[in-house]
Chain A
């Protein structure tokens, strides 16, 4: 589409309000529905997953629509989008859609169309060898990783999003292409604990984490920052007002109270805290958002910190695999990871995943008490025996 010069003319910086269009909202989704979706809107009877990545929906009119779901890197060039459009033009009358996990879905209305489309998609690769449009992401497998900006665009990250997601996805690729797990397993990623996206509600979540308090730029803070905002930003009250020797307004941070959330830096650019050695990755597990069988759950911290080993994050990948494999082995059909962990008990979860339990995992923030065990109901694990022996408790 060329730059519009006709109807309203070019933008004129001398008269910025002239011919200005505003509050138009998004285009209505109906305009972009394939004809078969428009005709059968609200009339669908049932659906099937024909094979990983391929869905079939059947309408009460008898109409059928086949959907091919493909993985995507989310962060993509216009060139890649044009290639998606080219495929949509060739097989799907020019229609295509994206899912809420940033997968691409191509819709066709015949089996012949479906076969040709599948063959074409699987044949497309980047120069480095990666699939451009791997088919999968349906059913009880691992679909795309919901993730954030990382070092590509944000100023508050403690790790990178795109590179970690690529490293982890490469290792989980067989689960994207297959439906071999007890239930779907959602992996998500956020590069700081603003948690843009879904880390607080995913089966496995990867989260960028700092381990050092902010550095105060006393020279600029009173000019650049609204100091009361920075003070109010701290969840643990570690920041208080202060004066420099020359009498300038500034803040002081009680470092033994700070837990490195970075919220004060979000409000005040004179409080940077990212750090090459300190920053790393926390892993959470057991969250879900659906109401199927059990209520939605928050994910819980299970690995306090792993280093940012760019570019392939081997430690993160290894721990994610441990959790996925223990879950695949231990859980019952339809059990999400959190359902499984709660059924067997978290002490058994740590044992079966081979994860170490440390003091970092014990909640100590305001409502912490409810997360401790107020019961004698628990199972002995090897880790518990170790502690018992060190404390001179029960003899084996």
Chain B
């Protein structure tokens, strides 16, 4: 596993660029991942989704289902893709420092 330097701290990443330890996350990590996911600047809606994902993960230790994410943030799936071009799993979960999605993806 490789590690990168994000705002002066070493952060461990796997081969798909997901964080190995979700507890290492800071807002700087989200900013660091943004460019790799085709996002130039993180606006308020980006942060709303990212913080919702982190809060949900902290409480339940899983990522929310897409339906839940859309309902609670008020963002349609189409809008989520506009915010995070690689989608809610590969895009927004990565920025939020959540574990890599598993299963038959």
Contact = CB atoms under 8 A, between A and B. Distances in A.
Interface stretch (A72-80, A139-147, A252-260, A262-270): A262-270
A227 B98 CA distance: 12
B102 A223 contact: no
Given A17-B38, A17-B85, A226 B103 contact: no
Interface residues of B, number: 16
Interface stretch (B2-10, B43-51, B57-65, B68-76): B57-65
Contacts of B38: 16-17
B42 to A, nearest CB: 16
Majority secondary structure of chain B interface residues (helix, strand, loop or mixed): loop
Nearest to A13: B38
Interface in B73-105: 85, 99-100, 102-104
B26 interface: no
A267 B20 contact: no
A226 B21 contact: no
Interface string A3-30: 0000000000000110000000000000
A267 B101 CA distance: 8
B62 A226 contact: yes
A142 to B, nearest CB: 29
Interface string A192-233: 001000000000000000000000000010011111110000
B61 A223 contact: no
30 contacts: A16-B38, A17-B38, A17-B85, A194-B104, A220-B20, A223-B20, A223-B21, A223-B22, A223-B23, A223-B99, A224-B20, A224-B99, A224-B100, A225-B99, A226-B57, A226-B61, A226-B63, A226-B99, A226-B102, A227-B62, A228-B60, A228-B62, A229-B62, A229-B102, A266-B103, A266-B104, A267-B102, A267-B103, A268-B102, A269-B102
Interface of B: 20-23, 38, 57, 60-63, 85, 99-100, 102-104
Given A224-B99, A224-B100, A225-B99, 14 more contacts: A17-B38, A17-B85, A194-B104, A223-B20, A223-B21, A223-B22, A223-B23, A226-B102, A228-B61, A228-B62, A229-B62, A229-B102, A267-B103, A268-B102
